Amino acid sequence: MDFDLPADLAGYLAELDEFIDREIVPLERADDNIRFFDHRREDARTDWDRGGLPSKEWEDLLAETRRRADAAGHYRYAFPAAYGGRDGTNLAMAVIREHLAHRGLGLHADLQNEHAVVANNVGLLLMLEYGSERQKSEWVDELAAGTRYFAFGITEPEHGSDATHMATTAVRDGDEWVITGEKTWNSGIHGAAADLIFARTSGDPGDGAGITAFLVPTGTAGFTIEEYLWTFNMPTDHGRVALRGARVPVDAMFGPEGRGLAVVQHFFNENRIRQAASSLGAAQYCIDRSVAYVKGRKPFGRPLADNQAIQFPLAELHTQCAMLRALIRQTAWTMDRHGTFAASEQVSMCNFWANRLCCEAADRAMQVHGGLGYSRHQPFEHIYRHHRRYRITEGSEEIQLRRVAGYLFGFMKSRAPKGV
C-alpha cells in the first residue's frame, strides 16, 4: 500500500499556496481588511443592527475572494471537468481542506460560512446527483461559480437528530405540493435563492421512507424567515423559517418522492469527511503555534518547552493528529474507490474525533499561551468557538458514536469492502 500523496496533488498544494500568497494575502491586508481576522474579527464581521447577520463588507470581501479563486482556476477544483473543475477526489479534498485550515485564520479559508478558495460546494454535487434536468439548467452554472446557493432545511425546533420524526408535511394538491411546518438552523438563508426543505409525504413518524426533498424558492408565498439565532460564534446566518401552506409545483421535488433521506445522507457523508479534515488542520495549527511559542517563552529564565507539563499534552495531541490523518485519508480513499456510502462507519469515526480533537487542541493552546491565549489577540478562542459547533451540527458526536456502535455491534450493515 502506497501512503505517499499523489505527485499531482502535492504539486497542486504548492500551486495553491503560491496563489494565496500572491492574490489573497495582499487582499486580506488591504484597506484594513485584517480587521476581519485580528482581535476585532467578531465585531467587524457582524451587523449588530441587522439581527446579527454578517456585515455587507465582510460578505463582499468573501465574494471578491471567490471571484479571484474562480478566475485562477482553484474555486471549482472538486467539480467535474465538464463544469470547470479538475475532477477533485475525496482524498484530494481532504488533504486540501486540512492544508488550508493548517494555514490558520485568513481569507483563504473561513469555516464560519464554509468559505474557501477551493469550494466545498456540496450543494452542486447534490444538484448533479439528484436534480432534474430543469433544475440543473437553472442552478448548475451559478452554483459552480458560487454566485447562487440554496440553504438546507431538515432540522426542526422540536426535531433535531430524530429527523425521521419531523413534523413538516407536504400534501399533493393537483400539480402542486402544499408544505406546512417549521425548520431551524437554516444556515445561509438570508442570502439563499431557495431552501431545500425536507417534509413527510407518506408513511408514519419514524419511517425512513416517505420523506421528500423540495427546492423551495425563498420568495414563495407562505415561506417566512422568523428569526436569526445568535450563537457562540457570531455573526449568525442561522435562520428559523416557517412554511404556512407554502405551495410549490410538482417539479420542485429534489430527487425521488419519498427518498429524501438518501439526499441527506449523501450530503452528510460528503461534508463530514471534509469537515473532519478541516478540524484536523485547525488542531495541528494550534499545536504547532503552541510549540513555537513555548520554545521562545522563558519564565523564570528557562524556556517553557523544557517542562514536561507543557511537552506531554502537546505530544499527545500531536500523536492523535497523526493517527487521525491516516484514518481520514484512508476513509476518503475508500469513498473514491467504492462510493460515498462505502465508508459511513469510518466517516463517523473521523468526524466526531476530529471535532473533539480540534476543541481540545484549541483549549490547550489557550492554556499554553496563558492570559494572551484567552484574549482575542490570539486566534485560539475563535477556533474553539467555531469548531465547537461541529460537535453538534450535521450529526452530534453522540449520533456519530451511535452509528459506529451500530456497525460494531451488528445493528447496521456495513457497505465497506473487506479489509476496510
Measured CA to CA, the distance from residue 223 to residue 45 in angstroms comes to 27
Q: Which residue has the cell 504548492?
A: 14
Measured CA to CA, the distance from residue 44 to residue 38 in angstroms comes to 10
**Burial (CB count within 10 angstroms: exposed 0-12, middle 13-18, buried 19+), residue 115:** buried
Distance of CA 238 to CAs 43, 53, 189, Å?
Answer: 17, 9, 7
Residue of 98, 270, 345, 394 marked catalytic? 394
Amino acid at 40: R
Measured CA to CA, the distance from residue 62 to residue 107 in angstroms comes to 7
Pick the closest to residue 99 from 314, 355, 297, 285 (CA basis).
Answer: 285
Active site (annotated) includes residue 381: no
Measured CA to CA, the distance from residue 156 to residue 369 in angstroms comes to 40
Measured CA to CA, the distance from residue 239 to residue 257 in angstroms comes to 26
Catalytic residues: 394
